[in-house]
Amino acid sequence: MSAKKNQTIQTPLAKAKGLGSAHEGVHHWLMHKVTTLMNIPLVAWLLYTVFHLKEANYTEFTTYMAQPFHSIAAILFVMVTLYHMALELQVVYEDYISCRILRMFKVWGMKIFFFVLGVATIFTILSLGFTVTG
């Protein structure tokens, strides 16, 4: 009907495409909530660790971190918080950066940086865990 009026070669389907839901975002939201809940015990662990080690020397620190429970908790903390942070900051960037290209590079740059930081931290935790002390 309107195709006749507008004399366009575009089909109605082509006009409608890309205007609907992005079909993503539920996962983003759900992961944000799941990591929020996972962070409750992990932050508790972090606070315990900080206060437990506040007067520790280097050897005490490394032996504490080398215990499997604490190594695993530390790795989980790094993974979960960095993931949560990436989701959170992505929303901030999307809300406040109106330039599409800049926003894209900001989000990608942040995620790549978090990957690098996460891998470096986990490597450090593992190297403490697998170092034979004493």
Partner 1 sequence: MSEVKSTPERPLSPHLQVYRLPYNALMSISGRGVGIILSVVLMVLLGGFIYVAQNAENYDQVMALLKLPYVSWGLWGLVFLTFFYLGNGIRHVLWDIGIGLNQKAGIASGNIVLLLATILTLVLWQFSCGCWSAQVRDQDAPVQEEVENVR
| Contact predicate 3/12, CB 8 Å | yes
Contact flag: residue 67 with partner 1 (CB under 8 A) = no
Distances (CA, A) of 111 to 1, 75, 89, 90, 123: 47, 18, 10, 9, 18
63 binds partner 1 (CB under 8 A): no
- Are residues 32 and 84 in contact, defined by beta-carbon separation less than 8 angstroms? yes
Q: Smallest distance, Å, CB 133 to partner 1?
A: 12
What single letter denotes the amino acid at residue 20? G
> Which distant-in-sequence residues (6+ apart) come within 8 Å of 61 by Cβ?
53
Q: How far apart are the first and last CA of the chain?
A: 83
If binding is defined by CB under 8 A, does position 59 make contact with partner 1?
A: yes
Q: How far is the CB of 107 from partner 1 (least distance, A)?
A: 13
Q: Residue 85, interface with partner 1 (CB under 8 A)?
A: yes
Indicate whether 92 belongs to the interface with partner 1 (CB under 8 A): yes
Rg (CA), the chain: 23
Query: Nearer Cβ to partner 1, position 7 or 96?
Result: 96
Q: How far is the CB of 85 from partner 1 (least distance, A)?
A: 5
Rule CB under 8 A: is residue 68 a binding residue for partner 1? no
- Applying CB under 8 A, the residues found at the interface with partner 1 are 18-20, 22, 29, 33, 36-37, 39-40, 43, 47, 51, 54-55, 57-59, 61-62, 65, 78, 81-82, 85, 88-89, 92, 94-96, 98-100, 117-118, 120-121, 124, 127-128
